Structure 1
C-alpha cells in the first residue's frame, strides 16, 4: 500500500504524518505501507523560471523545503518504509494529485487548517481542493492530532441515498485489513425534515439492513455494530455519539461527484465541523469497482 502524505511547513504537515503513521502501523503486518512524503512548491523548478529574480526565489523555496522535509522524514520510524520528494505544480492540491496518480496510491493524507477550535476541523484551501477533485481517498487529520498507540475502530457514516454501498464496501474491507471493529452510523437532523418519527424509524431500518450486509461480508473476521444518532442538527447528532481517540471515520462522496472522484456534500461538511477524530472521504467509485476481489481499502 502507498500513502501520499502532504507536507506543509507548519503543524499541518506533522498532523498528516501522525495520521499516516496511525494507519501504517495497524496494517503493516499484513500489507507493508510506503509513506511518500511530498512537499509541493508552487510554480516551476528554478531552471525553468523565466527571470533571474524568479529563479532565485524558487531556489530559496527549494532549500527551505529540503530542510523541512528532512525534519518530516525524521518523524517516521525506520521500521516504516518512507520516501521524501519535492514537487513543483500550480497548487499543493494539484501536486499531490500528480504524485498520487503517478503510480498506484491508496490514500492522500493531509492536515486540516491549523486554526480549528478544540482539535476540530477547519478545512483549508488545500484540503478543500482535494475534497472536490481527488481520484483517490483523502484522509484529513484534525489540528493537533497525535498518533494513538493503536487504531481502535473504523466508523462509516452512511446515508440513505444511492452510493452508500460503495463507502460501506470500502469500510468493510478496511476494517478487516486493519483488524479493528467497524461501526456504522446514521445521523438524523430532526429539524431538517418533517416527520421526525418516520425518519428515525426509516433510518433504523436502513441501518439494520446495512448491518446485516456488513456482518455477512466480514463473516467472523471482525465485529460490526450500528449506531443511529439524532439531534436538532447533524452537528448535535455527532456530539451525542462516543468517539475513541484511536478512531477514524469514513464517508462517501456526494452523489454529484463524477465517477472515481470526490465531491464533499453538505452533510459531510457539517460533520467536519463537529468531528474530534480524523475523516477519510471515499471517491464515487462505481459499485462494481468495489468488491472483495478488487480489495479497495485504506
Structure 2
C-alpha cells in the first residue's frame, strides 16, 4: 500500500511529506513523493528556445526538491519519488494516486493558511471536488519527528449517511495504525436575544431534539465501529456560538487526524465538502483527511 505526497517543484509543501511519513510509519505503508511541473504546452508539444530552457530549469528544481524530500519520512518507511510534467497539477497528482492505487493523496495547505491550520488552495480545492482517492491536508508548516505516529482518528459525523459512508475506510485506517477512534459532532447554536421569551423556549426544544438525535447517531456509530474491532475512545458533541468556538471545545492531541466525509450532495466516488465542513477544517489545529462519498 502507498501514500502519495504531492509537493511543488520548488520544494513548497514539505508538510505533506511530513504527514505522509507519519501516516505511513503508523500503518506500514510506503510513500511516493510526486512533484508536478506545470506545463501549459503539454509534454508532447514541441517547445524550443526560452520556453524549453525554462521547463528544464523547473524540472531540474523538482528533481532536487524530491531528492531532499526523500529524507523526511522515518527511516523505516520505504520512499520513492517521481517528477511529472503536465498541464494540470492537481489532475496529474490524482492520476498518479490512481496509477499506484494509493490509499490516500496528501497535499499541503494554501500559503495564506494560519500557522498550524488548514486552508484550501487551487490544488486542494480541485482535488476535493474531483479526486476519487481520499485526500489528506497537512496544516501550514506541519512538522513530524521520525518517532511521531498517529494517535487517534477523530471522525466528524452529522448523519447516519456520513457514518455509513466513512465507516469502512476509517476503521480500516484505525486498525492498520493501531489507534482508537473518537466520534465528533460540531454544531453552532446562537441563543435568541430575549432569553425569557418564547423564542428561547422554542430554541431549547429544538436543541434537545437535535441532541437526542445526535446521541442516537453516536450510539449506532460506536456499535458499528467496535464491531469492526476498533475502540471508540471518545464521543464528542461540541456546540458553541461559532464554528471556531465549537472546534476549540475538542481536546485535540498532537497525533490526531480529523476525518471528514463528503457531502450527501456530492457525486458518488468523489469528494464534495458541504458548506460547514470547510469552516470546521479551517479551525482544527490538526491534519484533515477527507473521504470520497461511497
TM over 0.5: yes
Between 1:85-94 and 1:183-192, the stretch displaced more is 183-192
Q: Does structure 2 conserve the Cα–Cα contact (< 8 Å) formed by 1:11 and 1:144?
A: no
- Give 1:9 shift: 4.6
Please name the residue that 1:107 is paired with: 104
Length-normalised TM-score, structure 2: 0.88
CA RMSD of aligned residues (A): 2.1
Structure 1 segment 135-146 matched on structure 2, within 5 A: 135-146=132-143
- Give 1:51 shift: 3.8
Is there any run of 5+ residues in structure 1 with no aligned partner, and where? 286-298
Q: Does structure 2 conserve the Cα–Cα contact (< 8 Å) formed by 1:39 and 1:65?
A: yes
Which of 229, 240, 257 is equivalent to 2:238?
Answer: 229
Q: Does structure 2 conserve the Cα–Cα contact (< 8 Å) formed by 1:255 and 1:284?
A: yes
Please name the residue that 2:14 is paired with: 14
Do the aligned partners of residues 40 and 232 (structure 1) sit closer, same or farther apart at CA in structure 2, a change above 3 Å counting?
A: same
- Give 1:11 shift: 6.7
Do the aligned partners of residues 203 and 11 (structure 1) sit closer, same or farther apart at CA in structure 2, a change above 3 Å counting?
A: farther
Between 1:225-234 and 1:192-201, the stretch displaced more is 192-201
3-state DSSP of counterpart to 1:266: coil
3-state DSSP of counterpart to 1:236: helix
Is there any run of 5+ residues in structure 2 with no aligned partner, and where? 192-201
Between 1:146-155 and 1:274-283, the stretch displaced more is 146-155
Structure 1 segment 152-163 matched on structure 2, within 5 A: 152-160=151-159, 162-163=161-162
Do the aligned partners of residues 19 and 272 (structure 1) sit closer, same or farther apart at CA in structure 2, a change above 3 Å counting?
A: same
- Give 1:72 shift: 1.1
Question: Following the alignment from structure 1 to structure 2, what is the Cα–Cα distance between the partners of residues 276 and 12?
Answer: 20
Do the aligned partners of residues 115 and 10 (structure 1) sit closer, same or farther apart at CA in structure 2, a change above 3 Å counting?
A: farther
Please name the residue that 1:259 is paired with: 268
Question: Following the alignment from structure 1 to structure 2, what is the Cα–Cα distance between the partners of residues 215 and 78?
Answer: 33
